[in-house]
Amino acid sequence: MLIQLAGSFVAVIALVALAAWAKIARPMVRLDADRARDLLGEEFPGKPLDDLWVATDGRGALARSGAWALILSEVGDGYVARHIAWDQALAASYCDGVLRIDLADVAAPRAHLALAVWPPQAVR
């Protein structure tokens, strides 16, 4: 049993190394407004976007949809999406150009977005 487990462990390491060497993850490009809108449209069908802020490093976005803030952040070669109350997004901690949003979700506790300014001027 121990030999089997050790063998499996070695096989796991070898396969992960092979996957890393192959470089066949999805190609990731910096998000722009159009791509962010497309992704948010897929994640939140039927929710209109009133306003959109794309992260300065292109690794996430935040949109306002009525009383909701729709959040998109990069993980690996994909994205994680959540929505929270807009007021909660406005009150999120902003320091050194990074917005730290508490998502209150065990599966994704926080999101970090690099934004030039927060809260947005128009809603201050």
Residue 51, phi then psi, degrees to nearest 5: -155, 155
- Of 29-37, 49-57, 104-112, 114-122, which segment contacts another protein by CB under 8 A? 104-112
Q: According to CB under 8 A, which residues from 50 to 69 bind another protein?
A: none
CB of 4 to another protein, least distance (A): 8
What's the DSSP call for residue 27?
Answer: P
> In this structure, are residues 106 and 87 in contact, taking their beta carbons and an 8 Å threshold?
no
Q: Please, which residue, 67 or 116, has the CB nearer to another protein?
A: 67
State which of positions 83-102 bind another protein (CB under 8 A).
none
Q: Residue 28: how many CB atoms within 10 A of its CB?
A: 13
